Structure 1
Amino acid sequence: MRVEAWLLSAGVVFFVPIGVIYGWASDWEPVGVVSFLLLGGMFALAGGYMWLTARRIDPRPEDNPTADIEDRAGDVGTFSPHSWWPLVMGAGVALAFLGVGVGWWLTGIGAVVALVAVAGQLTEFSRGMHAH
Structure 2
Amino acid sequence: MKAETLIFGITTVFFALVAPAYWFITYDPTGTSALTMTTLLVGMVTLYLGFHARKMDPRPEDLQEGEIADGAGELGFFPPYSWWPLWCALTLAVMVYGVAFLAWWLVIIGGALGSLALCGLIFEYYRGEHAH
Name the TM tier (shorter chain).
Answer: 0.7 to 0.9
- TM-score scaled by structure 1? 0.77
Give the distance between the partners of 1:111 and 1:117, measured in 2 at CA.
10
Percent identity between the aligned chains? Answer: 34
Instruction: Give the distance between the partners of 1:65 and 1:82, measured in 2 at CA.
Output: 37
Counterpart Cα distance in 1 of 2:131 and 2:69? 31
Q: Which amino acid aligns with 2:55?
A: R
Cα 1:36/1:82, change in 2 over 3 Å: closer
Aligned partner of 1:10 in structure 2 is: 10
> What is the number of equivalent residue pairs in this alignment?
131
Partner of 1:51: 50
**Partner letter of residue 11 of structure 1?**
T
More helix by percentage: 1
Q: Which moved more, 1:63-72 or 1:2-11?
A: 63-72
Could you tell me how far apart the structure 2 residues matched to 1:23 and 1:75 are?
Answer: 49
C-alpha deviation, 1:50, in angstroms: 0.8
Consecutive unaligned residues in structure 1, runs of 5 or more: none
Shift of 1:125: 1.6
| Rounded Cα–Cα distance in structure 2 between residues aligned with 1:44 and 1:84 | 36
Amino acid of the structure 1 residue aligned with 2:54 = R
Give 1:81's aligned residue: 80
Q: Which runs of 5+ in 2 are unaligned?
A: none
Residue 42 of structure 1: how far off its partner (Å): 1.2
Aligned partner letter, 1:42: L
Task: Tell me the equivalent position of 1:122.
Answer: 122
- CA change 1:73–1:99 in 2 (3 A) is farther
Decide whether aligned partners of structure 1 residues 10 and 124 sit closer, same or farther in structure 2, where only a CA change above 3 A counts: same
1:15-37, CA deviations, whole angstroms, 9 ceiling, x for partnerless residues? 1111111100123x333222211
Shift in Å at residue 82 of structure 1? 3.8
